[in-house]
Amino acid sequence: MTLGITALGSGSRGNSFVVHSPEGNILIDAGFSRKELIKRMEHTGIDPASIAALLLTHEHEDHSKGCRVFCDQMKIPACMTFGTREYLQKKQDEKKIAKLPSSIEVFNPGTPFEIVGLKITPFAVQHDAVDPVGFVIEHGSCRIGFASDLGAVNSLAKLRLTDCDMLVLESNYDQDMLRSSDRQYYLKKRIMGRHGHLNNVDAMEALPTLLSEKTKLLYLVHISSECNCYELVRKLGTETLENIKRNDILFKVVEQDTPIQTVWLKELHGDCKQLDLFA
């Protein structure tokens, strides 16, 4: 087994994923409380003590809620950009509420680093946060592309996310549902902007470019509970894959309250070809 991913949950009330390598595990985002993170890990057969580090995509609460308590309890570092650290430090100083764990490692977008045998390349994304990033995570010839919050799939995102064995991509809202919602105009404008969230149409239009012959797994994530619905995203994703003749891809919509068991990608003769779903 070479590279694996477990979806602990994704949505406006919390986002968190575990990436596995033979040498250990890392957590991407801690958008749930420490208690809830541990509960979801145990539900999916993950020992919380196996987590070697936390990677933060950005500072928003639905990605960082459990950061301090989980990292301090597990005695692991939280890895984040300088801008994210500075923002959380400022909020901590202003509100007198601890936001940051005792151990922090700062990374720069575009500069790869390594944890438990995983090569991690953070890249800047368009989102209304201080210094938001997506990740490309590699082990051997296997690659995971991860972008959970982005207003648009720009040229850099296309470069990083194309040709991955596993792709995790946002499909946050349905345009008509957002427009007809009770949300205030400024919030609708922010969400729909190029630094907001990715809508269903833009996500589906990006897939034919991002997916390649290598791609074995597609997760669509960060589905809005108010301005989208899981069945709609499943329908659109299935239709898109059918249109590009890629029914061979394992496709799942990651829900807020239902973790998905670990999917492992095996490396065979230098290529990542086989998926194992651990129930």
**Residue 198 CB contacts under 8 Å (≥ 6 apart), including other chains:** 150, 151, 152, 153, 169, 170, 171, 172, 206
Top-tier CATH class for 3-277: alpha beta
Q: Would you say 157 and 203 are in contact if contact means Cβ atoms under 8 Å apart?
A: no
> What is the DSSP pairing of strand 217-221 with strand 166-170?
parallel
* pLDDT for 171 beyond 60: yes
CA neighbor of 148 nearest in space, from 130, 121, 168, 173 = 168
Residue 279 has a pLDDT of 36
**The sheet that has 78-81: what strands, in order across it?**
104-107, 78-81, 51-55, 24-28, 16-21, 3-9, 260-268, 271-277
Percent of the chain with pLDDT over 90: 90
pLDDT in tens, 77-98: 999 999 999 999 998 888 878 7
Q: Looking at the whole model, is its pTM more than 0.85?
A: yes
Neighbours of 95 (CB within 10 A): 9
The secondary structure of residue 97, as a DSSP letter, is: -
DSSP count for the chain of H helices, then E strands: 9, 15
> What is the DSSP pairing of strand 16-21 with strand 260-268?
unpaired
Parse the chain into domains and list their residue ranges. 3-277
As a whole number of angstroms, the distance between CA 98 and CA 79 comes to 17
Residue 1 has a pLDDT of 60
* pLDDT for 271 beyond 80: no
As a whole number of angstroms, the distance between CA 42 and CA 98 comes to 26
